[in-house]
Structure 1
Amino acid sequence: MKRITKRFLFLLLAGIMMFSFFASHSEAFSGRDLAKGAKGDDVIELQARLQYIGFYHGEIDGNFGYGTYWALRNFQEQYGLPLDGIAGKGTQKKLKGISDYDEKYVKGQIAKGHQFTYYGGQSLESQVKKGSAPHKQSQTQMQAPPKYTDQDINLLANAVYGESRGEPYEGQVAVAAVILNRVEHADFPDSIGGVIFQPGAFTAVADGQIWLTPNERAKEAVIDAINGWDPSENAIYYFNPITATSKWIWSRPQIKKIGLHIFCD
């Protein structure tokens, strides 16, 4: 009888320990696809898992912004997944298979307002800095590659807003990409300021619209462009066929049209 009782207690204790482990080390998302703009517990899990394997370096806060988007894209690229920046079932399955998620730790630190990280291979205790989390940086500050200064980003945003406000978002990213493509091209100045203020290069400079205050959409378009999205497909020119007066621009090999702009080589 004593042996049976001891065995029962052992199995009960083992069951409790297993339940405790799996309760804290969650293995499943909620089931929905996660894209930029999403919020909630499953975004917290996504950020934590991406940080665990070294792709995400931002704050784990449950807000799917540009930091999460680019971390996810980089993860997808490295593992041969569809490169769409969306955490669908396939991406979630792959991520779950190679990462860990200690839900109790992550949510506990968020609830306490602690500044913390969740990198794999490091003790959890060493990743907690007690006290209030720091003031959040803007998406522009957080996601700009180191090679670009704040002045570069602000100037690009001014140019995008002055040249293409009212255009579809993809078209605004394409305008920013054209400027960046020119910086890398031998026929143009090798700086963002040099390209934008090259005489006769942009209408917005000529008519003063370059100095209008850009909106967040223009800034986001710049961030997408400097992080590698080029809807223009390597174009170095664009023009509006309705307002263009130059015969020369029509001689350039055309690549595609986005909104009102034709992008060309």
Structure 2
Amino acid sequence: MVWKKAAVIMIGMTLLMIPVYSGNQVEAFSNQVIQQGATGDDVIELQSRLQYLGFYNGEIDGVFGWGTYWALRNFQYEFGMEIDGLAGPEVKNKLVKASNFDEGFVKEQIRQGNKFTHYGGTPKSQQTKKPAGNDSNGNQAPEQSKPKKTEQTAVNVPSGYSQNDIQLMANAVYGEARGEPYVGQVAVASVILNRVESASFPNSVSGVIFEPRAFTAVSDGQIWLEPNDTAKEAVLDAINGWDPSGEAMYYFNPNTATSSWIWSRPQIKQIGKHIFCK
């Protein structure tokens, strides 16, 4: 009997030594809050999971920059969480439940210098592309003579706006207003610029476009459609001073708008299907 009692006691002590985890445990990441400016493995996992879900289309490089920041904020918005651009325990748990992360695969692609066309959702062989000049085994191909590149510069682009700004605005215009008359597309671009110049909005193109709930194209993903030349020309016309919106700060489609607030804004004019207002 003595040995039986001893065995029971030992089993009980063993059970007490097994750690008990709370329901908030994160099964991935470290225990650190991930925020803008962070670097390392946590950011690689964050970018990979956001890209897996379609919120991040930038490079998976382990650097928490603006692209990662706005992707995270959009993820928080779509999943009904506090929108603060910080990846704490709640955000990490939600990401882990909603996505998959193959750490070995991702880090091997980074080590080889391969670029992700999109992580997740397709066969792994289709998720990355090798750097230009590498053969099928990842080796550097023999260098061949290449035609000399001529330096390209933007035409009629005032200082203060980068090519990235122009590209992002073209994406927004195309996502928001393709099918609208050309003047209406210029007007949408003008609204973005008017907000950049206003103290009531972020003071950058990316900040205005990715402000939560600001543009439908961001919420439904159409911001990432490839813009056509018309959208790009509309952006350049707006940057060069044409504002057919009448200095509007907002616009909406009266056939689909359900917000009583947007209907309360002083209206300036209607162009195509959009009403522009102050």
User: What range is the shorter-chain TM-score in?
Assistant: 0.3 to 0.5
In the superposition, the TM-score normalised over structure 1's length comes to: 0.46
More helix by share: 1
